[in-house]
Amino acid sequence: MKLIFNKTRRIVSTASLVLALSASCVFPNLASASTPKDSLVVGWQFDDIITLDTAEIFEFSGSEIAGNTYDRLIGFDPNDVSKIFGVAAESWTVSKDGKTFTFKMRKGVTFSSGNKMTAEDAAFSLQRAVILDKSPAFILTQFGFNEDNVKDKIKAVDAHTLTIETDKAYAPTFVLYCLTATVASIVDKTEVMKHEADGDMGFAWLRTNYAGSGPYKIEQWKPSEIVVLSANKNYWAGAPEMKNVFIRHIAESSVQQLLLEKGDIDIARNLDTEQLKSLAGSTDVKLLKKGKGSLYYLSMNMKNPILAKPKVQEALKYLIDYKGLEETVWAGRGQVQQAFLPKGFLGALEDQPFSLDVEKAKALLAEAGYPNGFDIELIVRNKSIRIDTAKSIQTTFAKAGINVKLIPMDGKQVLTTYRARKHQLFFGSWGPDYQDPHTNADTFAKNLDNSDDAKSKPVAWRNAYEPKQMTKDTLAALLEPDSNKRANMYLAIQKAHQKSAPFAFIMQEQEVAGIRENVDGYVLGPSFDTNYYKDVVKK
């Protein structure tokens, strides 16, 4: 028996030795961590990208890729959004009646195909977005464009002049900000139409291909795996120093942290609160923070008779520990904001009238007829920061006798329930579609039809909130040409909304990126399409 054991042991040992030796031949120097000197490597969760066509992109990650690879007519300063400047357009004028915008195109802008950009490309791109009518098309069609009239309303007068004629005299900044959105990116007409199939204006092709003129061009997109960008050597504002940007889909934030610390990636984009804390003292990694437009809020469905009561709504707003959440759960990743416009937007209200006040909430609940509280359900997406915030809400609501049943769901499931008005309480986020205040006013403070089969279903509708006066005020603010007056109009709408709407705005997201110490020039803007790689340098 001893002999058997020895022989068996020898076989096992030999097998292990062979494996170990083969491994040791391969392992040395393989894990040497450093990214190429002329390339930027980013770790990011970008599995939301479903298309590369700028007429269809409406996801955060897709917008960021487009923001770095396509030019739009105009742009704004990420550090001061009130500064609007020309990009593909050099200058612009607005007609006296406020309806016609004339853009003079910049000369010397070249697409990655080598084709020169003209006003015809710009007109085609905007017309195409309207005709294709994908998710973000409303950003343009809200100016009265449709499939039938868009070629008359948006046209190239000559190779360097583009005119856009809106149906009403909107606030000029509203029109201009909408033209900074991803959907208004300029595509290479010749290249796109070369790939047209069955009159689709190149849609099937552009969903997975590239036809732009930005500082980077898209070399490769493997869904949920990698995006490879390469520098556009002919970029009109100068070629970027990084020859390539490799964006890897790293789903686990703890893995992102490890890769960043080891130097296998230069930038980590999805670090959790705990990881940010542990990186705070690092000498190899620095943290870059920027307030984003995304707002996290609790909404109360007024189809529920309890939540329809104004006193109950007010009580719930006093049962949230805003400061506590900012300091613990959000620690560095959010700032309290209690109005529907994010800080940084024209007319954003920064008042914070609500704080955790259990006694006041109890009194309000008693007035509403619920001195002992009630049972209620809260739906929330199963992401850590959302769940943690919802748990905090559950805890503080319980102090006034409100028994919250948390229902965590997958993202799409939450939205399905929310969109069908089948929730009671909802905790989630909203990100602006463009930089103008109308984007949020339109969804939170306007509801033209509260019936179940309404044609328009903004967030106000989803919560059965029908503010008639606020709807009128929102529409009026849209047409106010004077910026100061317009800002005051939005301030007034927000104050009324803050007081009476079934929404408790809690936090404005702050994006934090962990960056290797030797990397400079990465820009985090207020929106995802203003997160720029073009100025990145490595020391």
Please pick, from the candidates 94, 159, 255, 363, the single residue that binds another protein as defined by CB under 8 A.
Answer: 255
- 8 A C-beta contact, residue 329 and residue 510: no
Please pick, from the candidates 79, 93, 95, 224, the single residue that binds another protein as defined by CB under 8 A.
Answer: 224
Burial per residue of 26-44, b for 16 or more beta-carbon CB atoms within 10 angstroms, e otherwise:
eeeeeeeeebeeebbbbbb
CB of 8 to another protein, least distance (A): 5
CB of 273 to another protein, least distance (A): 18
CB of 387 to another protein, least distance (A): 16
Query: Quick check: 130 binds another protein (CB under 8 A)?
Result: no
Query: Quick check: 411 binds another protein (CB under 8 A)?
Result: yes
Query: Quick check: 275 binds another protein (CB under 8 A)?
Result: no
390 conformational bin, left if phi > 0, alpha if psi -120 to 50, beta if neither: alpha
Q: Among residues 256 and 313, whose Cβ is nearest to another protein?
A: 256
Query: Quick check: 407 binds another protein (CB under 8 A)?
Result: no
Query: Quick check: 11 binds another protein (CB under 8 A)?
Result: yes
Query: Quick check: 207 binds another protein (CB under 8 A)?
Result: yes
For 537, the enclosing helix (H) or strand (E) is strand 537-538
- 8 A C-beta contact, residue 530 and residue 236: no
Vertex 340 angle, CA 339 and 343, to 5°: 70
Q: Among residues 361 and 380, whose Cβ is nearest to another protein?
A: 380
Contacts of 156 (CB under 8 A, 6+ apart): 118, 119, 120, 122, 123, 162
Q: Which residues pair with 267 in a beta bridge?
A: 42, 515
CB of 411 to another protein, least distance (A): 8
Locate tokens 């098309």: which residue? 137
Contacts of 260 (CB under 8 A, 6+ apart): 43, 266, 267, 268, 279, 285, 514, 516
Per CB under 8 A, contacts with another protein among 17-36 are: 19, 23, 26-27, 30-33, 35-36
Please pick, from the candidates 167, 225, 284, 359, the single residue that binds another protein as defined by CB under 8 A.
Answer: 225
Per CB under 8 A, contacts with another protein among 39-68 are: 39, 41, 43, 47, 50-52, 58-59
Please pick, from the candidates 107, 222, 233, 468, the single residue that binds another protein as defined by CB under 8 A.
Answer: 222
Hey, what amino acid is at 191? E
Alpha-carbon torsion, ordered 438, 442, 443, 449, to 10 deg:
180
CB of 19 to another protein, least distance (A): 7
Stretch that binds another protein, among 104-112, 244-252, 474-482, 487-495 (CB under 8 A): 244-252
Locate 187 and state its tokens.
Answer: 């595509």
CB of 65 to another protein, least distance (A): 13
Stretch that binds another protein, among 243-251, 312-320, 323-331, 383-391 (CB under 8 A): 243-251
154-158 and 216-222 as β-strands: parallel, antiparallel, unpaired? unpaired
Q: Among residues 137 and 376, whose Cβ is nearest to another protein?
A: 137
Contact flags string 66-95 toward another protein, x per CB under 8 A? ------------------------------
Please pick, from the candidates 106, 155, 248, 516, the single residue that binds another protein as defined by CB under 8 A.
Answer: 248
Give the count of beta carbons closer than 10 Å to the beta carbon of residue 116. 14
Give the count of beta carbons closer than 10 Å to the beta carbon of residue 241. 14
Query: Quick check: 198 binds another protein (CB under 8 A)?
Result: no
Contacts of 442 (CB under 8 A, 6+ apart): 458, 474
Give the count of beta carbons closer than 10 Å to the beta carbon of residue 71. 26
Q: Among residues 412 and 539, whose Cβ is nearest to another protein?
A: 412
Q: Among candidates 77, 50, 219, which has minimal Cα distance to 136?
A: 50
Per CB under 8 A, contacts with another protein among 437-476 are: 443, 454-457
Identify the three-state secondary structure at position 390. helix
CB of 24 to another protein, least distance (A): 9
CB of 225 to another protein, least distance (A): 4
The half-sphere exposure of 254 on its side-chain side, counting CA atoms within 13 A, is: 2
Q: Among residues 230 and 498, whose Cβ is nearest to another protein?
A: 230
- Number of residues in contact with another protein, rule: CB under 8 A? 75
Q: Among residues 53 and 191, whose Cβ is nearest to another protein?
A: 53
Please pick, from the candidates 90, 120, 133, 241, the single residue that binds another protein as defined by CB under 8 A.
Answer: 133
Query: Quick check: 219 binds another protein (CB under 8 A)?
Result: yes
For 497, the enclosing helix (H) or strand (E) is helix 483-500
Please pick, from the candidates 159, 169, 228, 287, the single residue that binds another protein as defined by CB under 8 A.
Answer: 228
Q: Among residues 327 and 449, whose Cβ is nearest to another protein?
A: 449
Query: Quick check: 289 binds another protein (CB under 8 A)?
Result: no
CB of 106 to another protein, least distance (A): 31
Length of the chain: 539
Hey, what amino acid is at 206? L
Per CB under 8 A, contacts with another protein among 134-173 are: 134-135, 137-138
Per CB under 8 A, contacts with another protein among 482-521 are: none
CB of 35 to another protein, least distance (A): 7
CB of 142 to another protein, least distance (A): 10
Q: How far apart are CA 108 and CA 115, in angstroms?
A: 10
- Dihedral sign (CA 58, 59, 64, 68): negative
